[in-house]
Chains A and B, each alone.
Chain A
Amino acid sequence: MNPLERYEPLVDDAAAFRAACDRPLPSVVRVNGIAASPARVREAFDEEGVAYEPVEWHDGLFRLPDGNPGGNWPYVHGWTHGQEEVSVLPGLALDPQPGERVWDACAAPGSKTTQIADAMDDDGTVVANDNNLGRLSALRHNAERLGVTNAIVTNQDARNFSTKPLAFDEFDRALVDAPCSCEGTCRKNPDVVDQWTLDHVHGVAGIQKGILARAVQATRPGGTVVYSTCTFAPEENEAVLDHVLANEDCEIVDVDLPLDTVPGVTEWDGETFDDSVTRAHRIYPHHNDTGGFFCAKLRVGGDENTEVGA
């Protein structure tokens, strides 16, 4: 069975959804503000004759219609990083600030870590963790290539992450960009559809719940946790949020994202979820011509008036 079929009841236009999933995605680069401005990258692309197109909703993203995002001078200088456009959303929702303590729980290969460091003006501490030692080398490579100096890299199971190696024991913000069944990346990597199994969905959902719970526990009252995946499966999205809402001191908050999105679903496969999961965002490929994605912003504990990021 093609797993995309099971999500057709959730989308407004199943044919457009399936058609978009079959189209390849263009190469996209994100400007690394630690090293260069979007204007300087544009000028360098013009000088070198690299074709590029702006992305309407983000001035630091460029589509490269000829591909090869690593084959130009701006890349060699660490001014750009190849990153699928929809994957900048969790970093925008997280909105990290200079000087803060931020945890990227599932960080490799580092696209979001480096985006976080950039948003912090490379000032403060971003703890980039991943349980996979092999993928950590890609993370380290990307962080160094982009000139990130405020990252600490750790190799732990995020579900029972210990802050003992750190100089502090809670974070201002945490990002859980969770391992998932990844059908949302089918436009980049069609194999994910063939490798999909329901057993994996259920297995990985347990891991996701564990990581998100730990992120809420490790974040200070009033702090922000962002949960994101690149799957359409409600088992890995709304069900994970519902579980953590029931077991940890947190709530889902509204967040504006600069793309067309639809609300999280409150029912799936006989299960119902907390109404506040409608504040989460589902991003379907046919709405913005992107990959598929899911993103929710949570406020940790404290009282209602505790301002996020204060």
Chain B
Amino acid sequence: MTDANPTNDGQRFARLPEAPADREVEGRASRREVLDWWHERFGIDPSVFEGYSFWEKGAGKVWIFNGEATDPSEVEAIGMTFLRTRQEHWKPTGRAVSRFGHHATTNVIELDPAQASRFAAGEDQDLPEWDGDWGYLIATHEIAGGQAPIGVGLYLYDELRSVVPKGSRADLPVME
């Protein structure tokens, strides 16, 4: 984009610049910042995202894509929603956590069966035993021989808030 004063266009997808120095659209996250964020927050090595490209549409919504596309792209969707930027605390999408959360090594909260069911149902719960960071966490539980991410939780004041979107909440049995 060579516009004298490029702006963010909510109607089309634009590829994130490689690094902050390449930024032409004010406020747009760069690829490097996105990778650094996942690395710092969740310990996910940037090599996990090596083949993927990142795109912004709308105010701060970043999408992840593993295919060929023009830049910009005027289509309905490109890959999947990944991260909400342009706010003080960036927020991963539940879909991103479901897809890539198994690579995370930090800020992962392992829930017991009862806690996992409450979390999936969208309930907030007291979890004073968590002694890690506040903020967005990846909530996981044990299933079929391993931990699997359920979604994004927001931990504040000894409480884990489920931020599972309404449409994705489920009443599930407690698996003992």
| Residues of A that sit less than 8 Å from B by CB | 34-36, 40-41, 43-44, 47-49, 70-73, 75-78, 101, 122-126, 136, 140-141, 143-145, 147-155, 165-168
Q: CA A77 – CA B172 in complex, angstroms?
A: 12
Q: Which residues of the partner chain B approach A145 to less than 8 Å between Cβ atoms? A: 95, 98, 168
Q: Is the CB of A152 within 8 A of B73?
A: yes
Q: CA A296 – CA B101 in complex, angstroms?
A: 40
Q: CA A143 – CA B76 in complex, angstroms?
A: 13
Q: Is the CB of A101 within 8 A of B76?
A: no
Q: A73 → chain B, closest Cβ, in Å? A: 6
Q: Which residues of the partner chain B approach A125 to less than 8 Å between Cβ atoms? A: 67-69
Q: Say whether B6 faces chain A, with CB atoms less than 8 Å apart.
A: no
Q: Is the CB of A150 within 8 A of B66?
A: yes
Q: Is the CB of B78 within 8 A of A152?
A: yes
From B79, B148, B171, give the contact of A149 (CB < 8 A).
Answer: B79
From B78, B79, B168, B172, give the contact of A72 (CB < 8 A).
Answer: B172
Q: Please provide the chain B residues from 109 to 150 with a CB less than 8 Å away from any CB of chain A in the complex.
A: 120, 143-145, 148-150
Q: Say whether B77 faces chain A, with CB atoms less than 8 Å apart.
A: yes
Q: CA A152 – CA B76 in complex, angstroms?
A: 8
Q: Is the CB of A147 within 8 A of B80?
A: yes
Q: Say whether B4 faces chain A, with CB atoms less than 8 Å apart.
A: no
Q: Using a Cβ cutoff of 8 Å, how many contacts connect chains A and B?
A: 107
Q: Say whether B40 faces chain A, with CB atoms less than 8 Å apart.
A: no
Q: Which residues of the partner chain B approach A40 to less than 8 Å between Cβ atoms? A: 144-145
Q: Which residues of the partner chain B approach A73 to less than 8 Å between Cβ atoms? A: 143, 172, 175
Q: Which residues of the partner chain A approach B172 to less than 8 Å between Cβ atoms? A: 48, 71-73, 76
Q: Which residues of the partner chain B approach A123 to less than 8 Å between Cβ atoms? A: 51, 66
User: A44-B144, A72-B172, A145-B95 are known contacts. Are A140 and B65 too (CB-CB below 8 A)?
Assistant: no
User: A149-B64, A151-B79 are known contacts. Are A165 and B150 too (CB-CB below 8 A)?
Assistant: no
Q: Say whether B103 faces chain A, with CB atoms less than 8 Å apart.
A: no
Q: CA A44 – CA B149 in complex, angstroms?
A: 14
Q: Say whether B70 faces chain A, with CB atoms less than 8 Å apart.
A: yes
Q: A74 → chain B, closest Cβ, in Å? A: 8
Q: A107 → chain B, closest Cβ, in Å? A: 11
Q: A101 → chain B, closest Cβ, in Å? A: 7
Q: CA A8 – CA B140 in complex, angstroms?
A: 54
From B68, B69, B98, B171, give the contact of A78 (CB < 8 A).
Answer: B98
Q: Which residues of the partner chain B approach A124 to less than 8 Å between Cβ atoms? A: 67
Q: CA A71 – CA B173 in complex, angstroms?
A: 9
From A36, A48, A76, A151, give the contact of B170 (CB < 8 A).
Answer: A76
